[in-house]
Structure formats: structure tokens, C-alpha cells
Amino acid sequence: MLERNPPIRTLIVDDEPLAREGIRLLLKQDADIEVIGEVGSGREAAAQIEALRPDLVFLDVQMPECTGFQVLAALPPASVPGVVFVTAFDRYALQAFEVHALDYLLKPFDDERFYEALRRAKAHLQVAQVEDLRRQLAALLADVGEARGPAPAAAIQPAERLAIKDGSRVVFLRADEIDWIEAADYYVQIHAGPKSYLHRETMQSLERRLDPAQFVRIHRSAIVNRRRIRELRSGGRREAVVVLEGGATLKVARSQRDKIASLRV
């Protein structure tokens, strides 16, 4: 008989009792979730997270005494759980993903949107558990002398999605949907199929967050999803351009030409 995975220990943090009740009722429908507590202020939240060590927290942003971001900043790194932010304000979305939130629920949300966020959180936590087991195994092998050489440094996980404000909504764009990105002063213009989004972030910052195995900087003002590259053409005077699947033609810096020509896409 297969053993069930341990339940995901979940804490609800919101200063509105009705909001806490709504989240609790929705979580009750999922057998994988165990609600271990509810609190109504930021100060209580920080104390309860340290005391209870939940796996997952549904965390309001604006609360009495301190914000949800301040709650996380007050915690020791080892105590920070998986977080889904819940708020009525979309202006915090980018900040939420900067602190590696699993999702960002805008009030009012429907059941379908809530369970989508819950599915994402559960998937992330399952991956994290696998990584913990791998680290524990590596430590065990080192203790018994089976490990060979120093343990590799932990890899920085590239962003799988970007949170982009689009008018009155926040669009969660998968990295693999992006065709190319161009610089626009302190913003970037992200092109994805027929749509484009103006995103407040520098090229350098965004490049660090993207997977280098999938995205390549072809120019100081352009980053390309290398899976979209269809052709590399000579532009004369030792210049070159790439043609993407959607037809966009982009200049390649001289310093990057050999790298683009040798790409395996």
C-alpha cells in the first residue's frame, strides 16, 4: 500500500476575519492541506511562522503593525516558508516576486483562480522536498566518505514566470512564451507572440533572472529566446542580424556574432 505524503502545513494570515474564513473553507476541500493556524496581524504572523514552521502561508500584504513583506524580512532565512500573497492591490505584484512568492492573488478572486495558485504552490513545495532529500543524501554520503570532491555550489534557479503589470491587471508570463526583449531606458519591452509588454526592470537585472540555456544577449539592447532564432544573416560591413520565427529582424553585436553562429538551438 502506498504511503501518503505528509500534509502541507498551512498558515493563514489576514487582518479580515471573513477573508481568513474564505481561504480556510477553500483549503478544506484539499486533502493535501492541513491548516495549522490563522492570525490577523503582521506581528502575530512573524511569531507564529517561527513557532509553527508552516510549509505554506497565505499572506496578506497590508495589515496592522507591519506589512507582509516586513513579516518575511523579520524572519531568519531558514524559517521563511512558501508564500502566496493575498491582497486587493496589484501594485505589490513585482515586489512579491522579488521575494520569490509562489503566487499573487488579487482580491476578489474566484475559486478557480485560488485553486490555480494552490496547485502551483503544491508543485513548488514538492520540488523543494525532492531537493531537500537530495541535499540530505549528499550530506550522508559525505559523512560516510563516499562523496568525491567538494559539493557543487547550489545553482541559482532561473525565473519560470514574470509578473508584468498591464493596465489594471497583472499578467503572469511564462519565460518560454517570450520571443525577445528590448531595452527601453529604465524599462524593457517584452515581446511574446502578437503581444508586447512594457516592464519596469533593467536589461541587466532581467538577464540575471532568465535561464542562460534558453536566452542569449545578442546586443546591449536585445535579449533573444534562442529557440525562436530562425536565421543568422550577414548585414554587410561585418554586421549580422538574426531573424526570429515571428519575422522580427534584430541586429547582432560584433562581439556576439561567433557565439550566435555556434548556438545549438
Q: What pLDDT does 99 receive?
A: 67
- Please tell me the CATH code under which domain 173-261 is placed: 2.40.50.1020
Q: What pLDDT does 154 receive?
A: 43
pTM of the model: 0.52
The domain ranges of the chain are: 8-122, 173-261
Rg for the chain, CA atoms, rounded:
22
CB 257 within 8 A of CB 240: yes
Q: What pLDDT does 244 receive?
A: 92
Residues 6+ apart with CB under 8 A from 174: 160, 161
Residues 6+ apart with CB under 8 A from 190: 162, 164, 173, 178, 181, 196, 197, 198, 199
Helix axes 111-143, 17-27, angle to 10 degrees: 70
Q: Which CATH superfamily is domain 8-122 in?
A: Response regulator (3.40.50.2300)
Whether a cis peptide bond, with omega within 30° of 0, leads into 152 is no
Residues lower than pLDDT 70 in the chain: 1-5, 94, 97-99, 127-157, 166-168, 185-186, 235-238, 257-265
